[in-house]
Amino acid sequence: MSVAGISEVGGLESAQEIMELLQRGNRNRTTEPTSANETSSRSHAVLQVVVEQREKGSGLVAEVLVGKLSMIDLAGSERASQTNNKGLRMIEGANINRSLLALGNCITALADQAGGKQSSFVPYRDSKLTRLLKDSLGGNCRTVMIANISPCHLNYEDTHNTLKYANRAKKIKTKVPDER
């Protein structure tokens, strides 16, 4: 899968090196002012840290334990009518909304499965974002979602929708094996 602006770096050995990559990614993140938000994210940001532990043993095959920490900052959903975007900004907003809709569809299907609907198909392949997040949504993992909401009455509808989204997400059951 090809994702614009993505890079993979290996061989890091310290938390400081990871922090430097995080800062570099943040500097490269695209933000633009809209009527709704002065620093509107025009893309999602994903940082995945994979840690491998290899057992030193006498055999030819060493056991490898792999852990992956994924931190995802989703660009906010903004209504075109609120942003007054035109041209490129409108296209960016439509793409953001399309990927958030695909993520919402996956979350709904996974929540349905957790509720006993076994026939619910999870459409991971509907967007690059959902393919990238597949392990974090329905795999062998522990997942935390932080929903950012506003107390302002002007944002009531967005806050309500965000809370409904988070409520569906909390119903997802992942399969985490017993700890060793």
pLDDT greater than 90 at residue 126? yes
List the alpha helices (DSSP H) in the chain. Answer: 15-28, 80-83, 88-114, 128-138, 156-169
Mean pLDDT of 169-180: 80
Q: pLDDT digits over 1-12, tens only?
A: 667 777 788 888
Q: How confident is the model at residue 81 (pLDDT cuts 50, 70, 90)?
A: low
Angle in degrees, CA 137, 138, 140, rounded to 5: 105
- Amino acid, res. 130: T
d(CA 172, CA 165): 12
116 or 95: which leads in pLDDT: 116
What is the CATH class of 15-169? alpha beta
